Amino acid sequence: MGLLTILLGCGDDDSVSVDSIPEFQSLNQQVSSLPGEEFLFEGIVTDPAGIKSVNFKYEAWFLDKTIMKDSLPETYTISYKFKVPDDATEFSVHTIPVTITNAGNVSSTKEVVVTLDKDIAAPSININSPVNGATILIGDGDEINLDIDLADRELAELKIESSILNETLAISGASYNYSNSINVTDEGDYEFIITATDATGNEATASVSVSVVSDLQFNAMYLTDETSDTALNQDIFGIPFSTVASELSGEDGYVFTGRYYSAAANSEVRFVPQQGSFKPFTFGADPSNPGKLLLGQDETVAPIIMPGVGYYEVAMDIRDLSYTVTPYTPTDTPYDQVYILGRGIYIDAVTSTCTNNNDGSTQCWHFNSGKPFALSTYNLYLWTIDVTLKDQPNDAGANGFILNANPSGWAPFWRVDVAGGDPSRTIPGGGNNYVFDDSALNKDYTFIFDTHLNRIIAKLR
């Protein structure tokens, strides 16, 4: 420790004569941040004469902050938060001097380099195969083919967890493809949980489930009028349409019934047992045998035809590869109007379902703020509305929706079958509020609500 000599003199400054120099015992000199985010200057400085002040100065960001210490501590811990200007340029580099001054006005300076490159985004996970919900036949081996693409600024780790495969891999780079063929000898339902972590510690998780069977028996079946895998995946929910599985002994896994509204004569539909793809199984009509199903491997299999406009019940039986198409007329009473309530839903990207229709105040998740669907010209049960999904500003809570048919009360209302895993199924007077995943925000959708079928679709537009 250096010798400290204090000289008392006249004048109005409090300077003293010292022979010590302030020292940085530690200082975080490399900081990663982003425009509009706070970062922390942190370190420890010492001086036997006492620390008088610490200054942070950077004119480009209008930063000129001096922390004065009247107590003149010999050790001072720097901990000062600063918000990067919102209009700063991402990936730019900024050098900020930090100056400490002791009781004798002797100063030392070190620089903190702030780079606006902070990685706050989780890795992306794209599961190319298998298709979620796929049914796979036991064959000669390699029944399950995993094909997974990862992307991030800098990847660090891939983890796969399941009852038949557990693997953790150290990876690097901006992209990575994982592929693996798995031989499965036992029938069953298999779920693979995929977790990707980047170098900053951001983590993303996805999962895919398949059923491995020794014959064509399915846990679920869907009906669709789409004709490509891209179209099957354009929605948040509702595409393809769910069907009802028979629970009778001997029919479970083989017999399924769906209801469908045909908007035009000769509408075409197909059955698919996997929700996001026409592969590996698609059921259509056998052109040579009316009423008989044909098993195909993609969307090219011949469709089942709805001959007229209206509602149809379409049933299939895998045991004898048969199907029936039966028209019917609904008997339930149509509604005069239906509304969407919730939070984060905007009409014309401007008017929110949080805006009270009477006084313009903010009132989310309430019938006072419900926005009306438009009724189809041809179907008294069919309603549509175009919306934009985005986070509601200045309001904490979940972004989601409820449906109702009363602008001045809660009943009648519909929520969706979140608990049952089918949010496209609307439940009159019951169900659960639907909460949007963050990945659905800042996009435009069309919601299509059929009050007879109790089905809602949310698809990109």
Q: Specify the pLDDT at position 444.
A: 96
Within 8 A by CB and 6+ apart from 428, the residues are 412, 413, 414, 454
What tokens does 78 get? Answer: 């720097």
* Integer angstrom CA distances of residue 188 from 143, 163, 272, 275, 459: 12, 11, 19, 18, 32
* Close Cβ partners of 153 (under 8 Å, ≥ 6 residues apart): 119, 121, 174, 198, 199
Report the alpha-carbon distance of residue 128 to residue 453 in Å, rounded: 32
CA angle 370, 461, 129 (to 5 degrees): 115
Which phi-psi region, left, alpha or beta, contains residue 42 (left: φ > 0; alpha: ψ -120 to 50)?
beta
Q: What is the pLDDT of residue 2?
A: 38
The DSSP element (H or E) to which 232 belongs, if any, is: helix 229-232
Q: Mean pLDDT, consecutive 10-residue segments, the chain of 461 residues?
A: 38 67 97 94 97 97 95 96 95 97 96 93 91 78 90 96 96 96 91 96 93 86 96 95 95 96 97 93 91 89 96 96 97 97 92 94 95 97 97 88 95 94 95 93 96 97 89
Distance between CA 339 and CA 323 in Å, rounded? Answer: 37
Distance in angstroms (rounded) separating the CA atoms of residues 353 and 83 = 32
For position 120, what pLDDT does the model report? 86
Q: How much is the pLDDT for 4?
A: 38
Per-residue pLDDT, 52: 96
Closest CA to 216 of 149, 268, 282: 282
- pLDDT computed for residue 113 by the predictor: 98
C-alpha dist (Å) from residue 300 to 88, 258, 263: 52, 21, 22
Contact (Cβ atoms closer than 8 angstroms) between residue 41 and residue 82: yes
- What radius of gyration do the chain's Cα atoms show? 32
Nearest to 431 by CA among 416, 420, 451: 416
Q: What is the pLDDT of residues 315-327, one digit of tens each?
A: 999 998 999 999 9
Q: What are phi and psi of 369, to 5 degrees?
A: -115, 10
pTM summary value = 0.63
Closest CA to 440 of 221, 234, 141, 178: 234
What are the structure tokens assigned to 266, written together? 């000769």
Domains, in order of start, for the chain: 23-115 (2.60.40.10), 124-213 (2.60.40.10), 222-328 (2.60.40), 339-460 (2.60.40)
pLDDT at 5: 38
Looking at residue 288, its pLDDT comes to 84
| Residue 148: alpha-carbon gap to chain centroid | 18
- Would you state the pLDDT for residue 210? 87
**Local structure of 119: helix, strand or coil:** coil
